[in-house]
Structure 1
Amino acid sequence: MATSAPPGSEDTAIAHVVGARPNFVKAAPVVSALRGRGAHQRVVHTGQHYDDRMSAVFFRDLGLPTPDVDLGVGSGSHASQTAALMVGLEREFVENPPGAVVVYGDVNSTVAAALVAAKLGIPVAHVEAGLRSFDDTMPEEINRKVTDRLSDLCFATSPEAVGHLAGEGIDPSRVHLVGNPMIDTLLGNLDRFDADALRARLDLPERYVAATLHRPANVDDPDSVARLTGRLHEIADIVDVVMPVHPRGKASFDRAGLGDHPRVRLLEPLGYLDFVALTRGAEAVVTDSGGVQEETTILGVPCLTLRPNTERPITITHGTNRLVTEADLLATLDKVLDGHVGERLGDTPPLWDGRSGERIASVLTQWSR
């Protein structure tokens, strides 16, 4: 493809579209590396996560520049939210035409930006391309597949992601194995994750299991929430449970009485530094989050992922992650607490070395349409 000026030159900008907290963690090292190369860039915040606890505090923690624009879309059903995102992003891209649009992860902001940019003829680069759970009941899986199909550049975090893209017929020249920019952020802030200071500040117990649950399959169905609440109470019978409650599941867990157990400590959503400090100080983590699977892999904390599948199998082969069902959660956790499981299963994933943002920036600044 040809263009009058490469993306990131004085005549065009690289537009980073972010909307939810995982995006911010992935974007920070890419924005920083491009800044170091003198690239012209804009940060477009869609407002998919819109309150301070889910959004602004992450910008402060990560040193991200104040967004050039905040679309303020907010929450809604998948259809209504994605439609509002597309309307706002189309207006932004028409008024401030970027030379390229960089999208991150698998949230609705990601697929909306890819659709709008593709229809406007603007190149799309997808950071975290090629991840697959092979579970089309997950909205994120649909977002991943659509975004990768529309992307001119696919930045993959792991070798199996490269294989998935090849299997779907994506031109290999569009695919770059760059490692994981989320790990850049983690490694760059290791000395700021002070579990002891957080424990003292929040009056947390010395020994605890951290939990974080927000996937629709776990928190949307009242029966599922009731069963999970029972399991978490069983865990709390043997070790304290500390759980920052995601807004998506708060009402359901409140109705189920999760906080009624004296050894369950429910917290408001935490900023990035505090959340990773909480994870770092835990005996184990119970989660359904993709990013937490990756962070615990590097931190060496046993991770029990409450899902039937994962789009990040490298965290199982090279990390401390295990897939568990609600039925076998307690038994598996017992083994972790007894020290029988939880050790790292392999070497650190390839290129998870803190330099992924620089690799991405190098490709972007050399690339032109």
Structure 2
Amino acid sequence: MSPLVLHVTGARPNFPKAAPVIAALERRGVRQLLVHTGQHYDRNMSEIFFRDLGLPEPDLNLGIGSGSHAVQTAAMMTALETVFLDERPDLVVVYGDVNSTLAAALVAAKLGVRCAHVEAGLRSFDWTMPEEVNRVVTDRLSDIVFATSPDALVHLAREGVDPDRMHFVGNPMIDTLLRLRDRFDGSRVVTELDLPATYAVATLHRPGNVDDPATLDRMVAALRRVGDRIDLVLPVHPRGRQQLEASGLFDHPRVHATEPLGYLEFLGLVAGSALVVTDSGGIQEETTVLGVPCLTLRPNTERPVTITHGTNRLVTTEGLAGHVDAVLAGDGPTPGVVPPLWDGASGERIADVVVDVLASAD
């Protein structure tokens, strides 16, 4: 039987990264299996993305759901171990830095199954971020690491990763953005919220921003100051919904909550906005390519290329309103040169490496 590649996804950021890889491998006739752990189980956080991105329905949906990091990761490992033993994949491909990524890499390593990590080498050097732990451990366990930017290669080399394991392929998430850009459409939300022509978008969900009451209070005050200047739309992530609704943020007449949005609708909203306020890694990359000013409410970023080559700036809650004023005055971050290999062909480059690896194992 021909070699089997098993893809593990689990959360919204994984899907636009996986879609071009799966499509490129399908064109090469590679046998594949798509597993969705169910880490994101809300329809608009998961199911709608499969439709928007043209992803095949998962062959297996493990339905893990939410829980603490330990509970969620352990449940994923238990379920994935059964899947790997039943299916006997020749290669497991994992994406990004979520708990599903770590769980699959750990199980593959324990079972002696080769693992490839797409989006390897990103580092914030902030060990308070669960994602940083996931990134570093996954890269250490993976047999093949696919880097999206040159700085990622530097980090991997410093950590002693064998150069033969490292491949600079560009950013497959940007493949998806470029492929679907003509279909972006945020008009429904604009109409329903009666937004003016100039508006901003915010996305906030990281524990460092929404879990600590004092930090949340400062963030809410900062967002209300933004609302004094410009209408602000906030699709509410399930993770921070309760805290944000209880904070009184949405009592401000120009701060608008909406449900999580599908890929095409959300990026349509972003593409039409004057600026984005976020703590998301992926949105820093998407706004870089879209040319939309991005203000990242974090002290660090694992994607510095979005600052050197894109429209991203790191800001504090205290300085946020001033940065918004600068953007509205035309003095904010402006589009730079698109990062190298963010050209829509990353999935093809990844597929070429995977095919070579599978062939060399025969």
- The ranges of structure 1 where at least 4 consecutive aligned residues each deviate by more than 6 angstroms after the TM superposition are none
Query: How do 1:337-356 and structure 2 match up within 5 A?
Result: 337-344=328-335, 346-356=336-346
**Deviations, residues 64-116 of structure 1 (Å, cap 9, x unaligned):** 00100000000000000000000000010011111100000000000000000
Q: Note the residue ranges of structure 1 that are not aligned, 5 or more in a row.
A: 1-9
Kindly indicate whether residue 317 of structure 2 is the aligned counterpart of residue 320 of structure 1: no
Distance 1:278 1:154 in 2: 33
Distance 1:33 1:204 in 2: 39
Output the amino acid matched with 1:211: A
Output the amino acid matched with 1:111: L
Kindly indicate whether residue 257 of structure 2 is the aligned counterpart of residue 247 of structure 1: no
Output the amino acid matched with 2:185: D
Kindly indicate whether residue 278 of structure 2 is the aligned counterpart of residue 287 of structure 1: yes
Distance 1:353 1:29 in 2: 12
Residue number in structure 2 paired with 1:132: 123
Kindly indicate whether residue 262 of structure 2 is the aligned counterpart of residue 271 of structure 1: yes
Identify which of 56, 69, 72 aligns with 2:47.
56
Quick check: 1:196–1:281 contact (8 Å CA) kept in 2?
no
**Deviations, residues 7-51 of structure 1 (Å, cap 9, x unaligned):** xxx433100000000000100000000011111000000000012
Kindly indicate whether residue 14 of structure 2 is the aligned counterpart of residue 23 of structure 1: yes
Residue number in structure 2 paired with 1:7: none
Quick check: 1:46–1:73 contact (8 Å CA) kept in 2?
yes
Residue number in structure 1 paired with 2:169: 178
Residue number in structure 1 paired with 2:293: 302
Kindly indicate whether residue 221 of structure 2 is the aligned counterpart of residue 230 of structure 1: yes
Distance 1:50 1:14 in 2: 24
> Once the 2 structures are TM-superposed, how far is the Cα of residue 224 of structure 1 from its aligned partner?
1.3
Q: Note the residue ranges of structure 2 that are not aligned, 5 or more in a row.
A: none
SS in 1 for 2:334: coil
Residue number in structure 2 paired with 1:6: none
SS in 2 for 1:24: helix
Identify which of 341, 344, 350 aligns with 1:360.
350
What count of residue pairs does the alignment treat as equivalent? 359
| Residues 219-228 or 122-131, more deviating | 219-228
Query: How do 1:45-194 and structure 2 match up within 5 A?
Result: 45-194=36-185
Output the amino acid matched with 2:163: P
> Once the 2 structures are TM-superposed, how far is the Cα of residue 205 of structure 1 from its aligned partner?
2.6
Residue number in structure 1 paired with 2:205: 214
SS in 2 for 1:327: helix
SS in 1 for 2:318: coil
Quick check: 1:103–1:126 contact (8 Å CA) kept in 2?
yes
Output the amino acid matched with 1:94: L
> Once the 2 structures are TM-superposed, how far is the Cα of residue 198 of structure 1 from its aligned partner?
4.8
SS in 1 for 2:314: strand
Give me the TM-score of the superposition, normalised by structure 1. 0.96
Distance 2:231 2:195 in 1: 9
> Once the 2 structures are TM-superposed, how far is the Cα of residue 204 of structure 1 from its aligned partner?
2.8
Quick check: 1:12–1:97 contact (8 Å CA) kept in 2?
no
RMSD: 1.0
SS in 2 for 1:14: strand
Distance 1:326 1:182 in 2: 28
Output the amino acid matched with 2:221: G
> Once the 2 structures are TM-superposed, how far is the Cα of residue 195 of structure 1 from its aligned partner?
4.1
Would the alpha carbon gap of residues 191 and 56 (structure 1) be closer, same or farther in structure 2, given more than 3 Å must change? Answer: same
> Once the 2 structures are TM-superposed, how far is the Cα of residue 318 of structure 1 from its aligned partner?
0.2
Residue number in structure 2 paired with 1:3: none
> Once the 2 structures are TM-superposed, how far is the Cα of residue 196 of structure 1 from its aligned partner?
4.4
**Deviations, residues 319-344 of structure 1 (Å, cap 9, x unaligned):** 00000011111111110110012212
> Once the 2 structures are TM-superposed, how far is the Cα of residue 280 of structure 1 from its aligned partner?
0.5
Give me the TM-score of the superposition, normalised by structure 2. 0.97
Residue number in structure 1 paired with 2:25: 34
Percent of pairs identical after alignment? Answer: 64
Quick check: 1:198–1:277 contact (8 Å CA) kept in 2?
no
**Deviations, residues 181-207 of structure 1 (Å, cap 9, x unaligned):** 000000001101134465235533321
